[in-house]
C-alpha cells in the first residue's frame, strides 16, 4: 500500500502583543508631549508662532498654548506619526542654533534695513505702536515719537502726524503731549488704524485736505521698508527715517540680538509678501 506523505503545516507567527496603555503613556506620550511643548517654546522664541497666526487663531494665553501643543504631541505619539513631535523639535532646535549662534542671517537683516538721509518734507508721520492699559507709550512707540519730534525740532517739517489705534486701546494723548511739550511743531492725529495699510490710507486722506506731497515716515527699523512702500503706493513721496531700535542691537552683537532680529525680520518678510499679493505695495519696491 502506497504511503501518502503527511502535509507539513507552516508554523503560525503570532503578532507581537499590543503595548499596554501605561507603556504608551510613559514611554511614548509623555516624552512626545515634552518635545512638542519645547518645540512650541523654540518656535515662539523665533517668532514663528506669531507668523503663523496661532495666537490670534486659538485666542489662548501662552501657557495654555504650550499645554495644547503638549497634549496634541502626546496624542500623536499613539499613532504611526509618533516621530513628528521629535522631528519638529530637532528641526527647530537646529534653526535656533543657526539663528542665535552664527552670523548666517546677519547679511539678510542688513539688506532689509532702509534708511534715507533726513531732508525737508511737508510732514513727519510717526506710526502707531502698542499702548499700556494706563495710556503709556510702549518702548517702540516712545522711540518713534522721540525720533519724530527730533526731526521736527531740526526743522525738517512743520507738521507731525500721529496715527491713532482707536477704540479698544488706551488713549496715549497725555503721554504724547507730555513728551512733545516745549516744541512748536503742529501735531495732528489720524485714525483709527489697525494696520500699516490703514495708516497709509488715513494719511492719504489727510493729504487730500492739506498740501502733503512729501512725508518722512518714522517707524521701527525692520518695519520701515514695508511702511515706506505702503505709503509710496498711495502716491506720496517718502523719506524713510527709522527710529533707533532700543530692544536689540542692529547689527546683532550677541545671540539674544540675533534671535530678536530674526523674529522681526521673518515677520516683516511674511507681511511684505502678503501686502504684495493684495496689491498694497509694488513688489519692485523691495529693490530700493
CA 187 to chain centre: 29
Given pLDDT bands bounded at 50, 70 and 90, which one contains residue 104? very high
Residue 261: band (very low, low, confident or very high) from pLDDT cuts 50, 70, 90? very high
Cα dist from 14 to 10, 17, 97, 187, whole Å:
12, 9, 46, 82
| C-alpha closest to that of 117 among 151, 91, 70 | 151
Any residues with CB less than 8 A from the CB of 126 and at least 6 apart, and which? 144, 145, 147, 148, 160, 161, 162, 163, 218, 219
The verdict on pTM exceeding 0.75 is yes
Q: For the chain, what is the mean pLDDT?
A: 86
> ∠ at Cα 272 (270, 274), nearest 5°?
70
Q: What is the pLDDT of residue 106?
A: 94
Those residues whose C-beta lies under 8 Å from the C-beta of residue 23, and which sit 6 or more positions away, are none
Over residues 264-274, the mean pLDDT reads 94
- Sheet containing 214-218: which strands, arranged edge to edge? 186-190, 159-163, 123-126, 214-218, 237-240
Q: What is the pLDDT of residues 75-101, one digit of tens each?
A: 888 888 889 999 999 999 999 999 999
| Residue pLDDT, tens place only, 194-214 | 999 999 999 999 999 998 999
Q: Where are the alpha helices (DSSP H) in the chain?
A: 21-23, 30-45, 48-51, 54-58, 62-76, 84-101, 106-112, 139-153, 173-180, 196-209, 224-232, 255-277
Q: Which CATH class is domain 111-287?
A: alpha beta
Instruction: Report the alpha-carbon distance of residue 76 to residue 186 in Å, rounded.
Output: 59
Position 259 pLDDT exceeds 60: yes
Q: Which of 47-56, 114-123, 230-239 has the lowest mean pLDDT?
A: 47-56
Domain ranges of the chain: 21-101, 111-287
Distance CA 202, CA 214 (A): 15
Amino acid at each position: 500500500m502506497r504511503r501518502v506523505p503527511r502535509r507539513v503545516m507552516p508554523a503560525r507567527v503570532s503578532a507581537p502583543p499590543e503595548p499596554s496603555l501605561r507603556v504608551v503613556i510613559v514611554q511614548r506620550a509623555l516624552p512626545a508631549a515634552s518635545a512638542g511643548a519645547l518645540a512650541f517654546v523654540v518656535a515662539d522664541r523665533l517668532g514663528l508662532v506669531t507668523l503663523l497666526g496661532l495666537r490670534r487663531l486659538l485666542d489662548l494665553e501662552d501657557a495654555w498654548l504650550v499645554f495644547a501643543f503638549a497634549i496634541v504631541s502626546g496624542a500623536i505619539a499613539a499613532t504611526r506619526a509618533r516621530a513628528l513631535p521629535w522631528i519638529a523639535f530637532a528641526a527647530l532646535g537646529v534653526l535656533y542654533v543657526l539663528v542665535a549662534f552664527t552670523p548666517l542671517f546677519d547679511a539678510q537683516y542688513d539688506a532689509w534695513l532702509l534708511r534715507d538721509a533726513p531732508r525737508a518734507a511737508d510732514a513727519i508721520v510717526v506710526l502707531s505702536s502698542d499702548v499700556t492699559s494706563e495710556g503709556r507709550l510702549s518702548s517702540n512707540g516712545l522711540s518713534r515719537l522721540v525720533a519724530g519730534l527730533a526731526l521736527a525740532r531740526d526743522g525738517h517739517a512743520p507738521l507731525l502726524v500721529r496715527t491713532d489705534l482707536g477704540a479698544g486701546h488706551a488713549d496715549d494723548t497725555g503721554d504724547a503731549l507730555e513728551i512733545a511739550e516745549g516744541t512748536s511743531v503742529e501735531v495732528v492725529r489720524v485714525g483709527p488704524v489697525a494696520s500699516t495699510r490703514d495708516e497709509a490710507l488715513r494719511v492719504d486722506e489727510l493729504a487730500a485736505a492739506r498740501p502733503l506731497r512729501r512725508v518722512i515716515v518714522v517707524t521701527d527699523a525692520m518695519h520701515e521698508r514695508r511702511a515706506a512702500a505702503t505709503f509710496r503706493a498711495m502716491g506720496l513721496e517718502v523719506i524713510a527715517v527709522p527710529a533707533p531700535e532700543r530692544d536689540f542691537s542692529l547689527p546683532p552683537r550677541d545671540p539674544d540680538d540675533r534671535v530678536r532680529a530674526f523674529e522681526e525680520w521673518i515677520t516683516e518678510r511674511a507681511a511684505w509678501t502678503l501686502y504684495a499679493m493684495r496689491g498694497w505695495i509694488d513688489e519692485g519696491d523691495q529693490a530700493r
